[in-house]
Amino acid sequence: MRHIKIFDTTLRDGEQSPGVALSVPQKLEIAHGLARMGVDIIEAGFPITSQGDFDCVNRIAREVRGVNICGLARTHKKDIETAARALDVAEKWRIHTFTSASDVHLEFMLKKSRAEILEISDEMIRYARTFCDDVEFSAQDVMRADFDYVIQLFNVAIEAGATTINIPDTTGYGTPLEYGQLIARIRDEVVRDRNVAISTHCHDDLGMAVANSLAAVENGATQVECTINGIGERAGNTSLEEIVMALYTRGDYYQAKTQINTKEIYRLSRMVSRHSGMVVQPNKAVVGDNAFAHEAGIHQDGVLKNKATYEIMNAELVGREAGVLVLGKHSGRAAFNKALEDLGYHFDKDRVQNLFNRFKDIADRKGALGSEEIRSLVETSDIEIPEVFKLESIQVLSGTHVVPTATVTLETPGGPKQHAASGDGPVDAVYRAINAITNIYPVLENYRIEAVTENSEALGEVSIRARIGEIVYSGNGVSTDIVESSARAWLEVVNASIANVGVKKEAMTAI
């Protein structure tokens, strides 16, 4: 069976999703997760866009091993030189340089003729090859371009030394039949018997990104560019989990496979959702909450007798729990640690003890916790930020015809401090009180609340993004009490600002 390389661009195209701003620790955690999962290439960023992006790509290149690290560059010398400087510390690395193919891009965006694009592409690919032997070339918007010109452009790219040619349907315009036919033509007329990989990069504007990518695989593509949860510009990119599981489940049809460890898929999906603030829809294939749920009586009866009646893959295959794990306030540390291990988490004793203390606190008020709630408890504290300010207690007065008031007590470097404040609501009052104690005043940009499970006693998980100056910080909090969850998320932002664990959002360019 053919090996299909998985080129993950979550950290580059995925981060270009409107409203997403990932910090360096978050990007590193995702990059290590991608390497552990077994992707072939990680597109770590676009180094020329900012010093922050350069530093992040450089750090990923330095720290993440066992995978090819890639950086994006326009067909400009400065871009290529900057990408090379960011990447040359990597174990394996690739420069990915791009231009455009459609007349609308050439006329209104690049303001170049077709002949000029051919000349520039030839020169810049040759220049990139002076830095490394692994050079990928992309031409944006091929599905709205003249196909004869596309063939000519990619011929020039291969002659100049491109080792991978990427065929991006940048606007999600193509259909599987059209796109597959173009890939076949490139395979037969351009690549022929030359040792050059054909890559596919599809967007989901018409909901066909995965279908188009699979059509490309059928017609000779050996690399698929994709993102976790399909995040990305506009409607997003090809979904990694859907491509991988389609090839795994229908290997008999596609006669192709990847090297992905599928049991890491669900954990990484949740990680990206949490860090990006982009919720995975319940009916999302493979990783959605309902992907392995059965409600209809006939379905339930069939699955109880044999899962294969209604499941073409099982939850455990993608790292999910088929059974329900329940822990309550009477559970001991040994049982809690065993539950963590069953969920795939392995921590040192101090980390387990800290998590156990939080678990006991919540279980005392809520009762039993299910496996998803245990996951949420762990994942809201995945990136450990020093707690300069720690929540001790909250008292809130709120109701109709009452001015919402909160009294907050924090443990501070100078000892416990208390402050009372009023606000537009109980959460606003709590935030004002925390601000007064810490003397730090974040500006809230995004607030999201989500029940971890569906019952009336569910834990509430609050995720926020707040700006302090030009830096955006993320915060997460989980509790049975939404006001407390909100306070914990706000304090995480405050503590993150002290540790400077944030990100400056810069404008980026899509392919």
Which residue range forms the structural domain that includes residue 168?
2-276
- Report the range out of 75-79, 312-316, 380-384, 465-469 with the highest average pLDDT: 75-79
The token pair that represents 198 in the structure block: 């054909």
Whether 214 is in a domain gets the answer yes
Which of 276, 295, 322 is a domain's end point?
276
| Paired strand residues for 419 | 408
What does the pLDDT read at residue 499? 87
Q: Do both 399 and 260 map to the same domain? A: no
For residue 332, pLDDT beyond 90: no
Asked whether the predicted pLDDT for residue 304 surpasses 80, the reply is no
Q: What is the pLDDT of residue 30?
A: 97
* CA 95 to chain CA centroid, nearest Å: 21
CA–CA dist 108, 110 (Å, integer): 6
CATH code of 240's domain: 3.20.20.70
**Main-chain dihedrals φ then ψ at residue 83, nearest 5 degrees:** -60, -45
The CATH number of the domain holding residue 440 is 3.30.160.270
Q: Report the alpha-carbon distance of residue 14 to residue 228 in Å, rounded.
A: 8
Which pLDDT tens digit goes with each residue over 142-180?
Answer: 999 999 999 999 999 999 999 999 999 999 999 999 999
Assigned domain for 454 exists? yes
Reported confidence tier of residue 455, pLDDT bands at 50, 70, 90: low
| 363 occurs within a structural domain | no
Query: CB–CB of 164/199 below 8 Å?
Result: yes
In a domain, 294, yes or no: no
Q: Which residue has the tokens 């980390």?
A: 351
Q: What percent of the chain clears pLDDT 70, i.e. is strictly above it?
A: 91
Inside any domain, residue 50 = yes
403 and 268 both lie in a single domain: no
Residue 21 lies in a domain: yes
268 neighbors 286 (Cβ within 8 angstroms): no
Measured CA to CA, the distance from residue 131 to residue 484 in angstroms comes to 53
Q: Who contacts 470 (Cβ-Cβ below 8 Å, separation ≥6)?
A: 504
CA distance 49 to 359: 42
Q: What domain count does the chain have?
A: 2
Shared domain check, 250 and 114: yes
pLDDT tens-digit profile of 92-127?
999 999 999 999 999 999 999 999 999 999 999 999
Q: Which of 276, 301, 318 is the last residue of a domain?
A: 276
* Spatial distance between the Cα atoms of 322 and 294, rounded to a whole number of angstroms: 12
- Segment 314-333 shows an average pLDDT of 73
- Mean of all residue pLDDT scores within the chain: 90
Given 261, 276, 291, the domain boundary residue is: 276
CA nearest neighbour of 364 among 477, 479, 450, 460:
479
Contact between 124 and 161 under an 8 Å Cβ cutoff? The reply is: no
